Amino acid sequence: MCIKKFCLIILSFSLIVMADDYLDYVNSFSCIACKNQSLVNSQEQSAVNLRSILKDKFHDGANLKSVKLSLEKKYGPSINSAPDKYGKFIFLWLFPAAIYTLLLSIFFLFKKKAEVT
């Protein structure tokens, strides 16, 4: 009896982790018809069809990068909900941090000068 409960707990935990991975998988795409909406939230027929295709690919074990490349070839780069974090798009991810660091250092420099005066 105790082993059955343990197996059920392990199974339910693995299903929760799998569902979370699937949501991350699908959240990385945008709806084709309604450009500014994620694929998960869209109720368009094209989004429903694409979700079922992604579900099948996820269960077949296809990795996210290969699926992204095939969908980009078919629908264009607007299918991605966020720019990639490598290559030429790294600038889009690092620019806000660089500006924040620059502004913070300027702020502390002027604050230090004001304290000295």
What single string gives the DSSP state of each residue in 2-24?
HHHHHHHHHHHHHHHHHHHHHHH
Helix (H, G, I), strand (E, B) or coil at 80: strand
Segments in the chain below pLDDT 70:
1-21, 35, 82-89, 117
What CATH number does the domain containing 61 carry?
A: 1.10.8
Distance, in Å, from the CA atom of 57 to the CA atom of 106, rounded to the nearest integer, reads 49
Domain hosting 99: range is 84-117
The dihedrals phi and psi of 60, each to the nearest 5 degrees, come to -80, -15
**Residue 102: what pLDDT?**
92
For residues 62 and 48, membership in a common domain is answered with yes
Predicted local distance difference test score (pLDDT) of residue 89: 67
pTM (2 d.p.):
0.53
Task: Output the pLDDT for position 77.
Answer: 78
Beta bridge partners of 29: 80
Same domain? For 50 and 88 the reply is: no
φ/ψ region of 87 (left if φ > 0, alpha if ψ in -120 to 50, else beta) reads: left
pLDDT at 3: 62
The predicted structure's pLDDT at residue 7: 44
User: Residue 67's pLDDT is what?
Assistant: 82
